[in-house]
Amino acid sequence: MISILTPRYYFADDFRPFYPYFLSQPHTERVFQKGDYLWRPGQPHDRIHYFISGNAVHFAEHETGRRRIISFHGPGTVFPGYHTADFRIELSLTTAALSPIHVLEFTIPQFQAMFEASPALSECVINWYARYVNRFLFETIHQEFNSSQVKLCNLLYLLTANQPSGSCQPSSSGLTSGCGLPSDYGRPSCSGRPSDSGQPSDSGLTIGMTQEDLADILGISRVQITRELTKLRNLGILSTARGKLTVTDLAALTALCMGETV
């Protein structure tokens, strides 16, 4: 049976099998502290990082001052993705550490040498980009036309489903306790575990994100987010607390999602 992948907002573990290979190649080890930028805002990136530990948020800041969260990145992934083109839009993109991040840093030529020498790595890079593009196609083709409620339910479902083994999802406000990380950095605890198919296996899934985070991901107002969360809370689908929410009725949440999501 073919496993159909669903969109994801959190990328981790994609390149973990290549960690020994990365270690054997020319690189620089670096540590970014919470709040550090992985490259200077407004500048093209010229380094590629393999995340050993820690989490980062990738976002764009519009000239109006609004922020749009694009994706989160954690242990076992490579970011930014490898390519040799220069895109103007990248000057508007920023990546910041949500916690201390330990990385292997490669120059573009260093990663290019590995890409060309390893067919397995090349395939992994292409598949990673396919997953990344899929996330944008999902928003363009489906989320764009959904109501605020459906958009939010789709996002909450995908966030509960996308919890890589051995790690949890990040929050742009820091990391919650657990997962071997300090308690003052916020990230959802993995109260529920996803099944091998990538679908949540039970309820009680906690997502460590603020209402502002959810609004910044979906590109809708915080007022709308608050209104929709109140509706879901009144339906008994979730509970909320400061900086986090917990899905308490996964089946009911799933029923409100569109078919492309579940």
Report whether 209 contacts 156 (CB < 8 A).
Answer: no
Element spanning 114, H or E: helix 108-117
Report whether 36 contacts 98 (CB < 8 A).
Answer: no
Q: Please report the pLDDT score of residue 172 as a whole number.
A: 59
Q: Please report the pLDDT score of residue 178 as a whole number.
A: 30
Q: What is the pLDDT of residues 56-70, one digit of tens each?
A: 988 987 777 778 888
DSSP 3-state assignment of 251?
helix
* pTM beyond 0.85: no
- Residue type (1 letter), 19: Y
Class of the domain covering 10-135: mainly beta
Q: Which fold has domain 147-255?
A: Arc Repressor Mutant, subunit A (1.10.10)
* Distance from chain centroid for Cα 61: 17
Q: Please report the pLDDT score of residue 141 as a whole number.
A: 75
Q: Give the start-to-end residue ranges of the domains of the chain.
A: 10-135, 147-255
Say which residues have a Cβ less than 8 Å from residue 30's Cβ, sequence separation at least 6: 49, 102, 103, 105
Report whether 229 contacts 236 (CB < 8 A).
Answer: no
Q: What is the pLDDT of residues 162-198, one digit of tens each?
A: 754 444 455 655 433 233 222 233 333 333 333 444 4
Q: What is the pLDDT of residues 126-168, one digit of tens each?
A: 999 999 998 888 877 777 778 889 889 988 988 887 754 444 4
Structure confidence at residue 253 as a pLDDT band (50, 70, 90): very high
Element spanning 207, H or E: strand 205-207
Residue 23 has pLDDT above 90, yes or no: yes
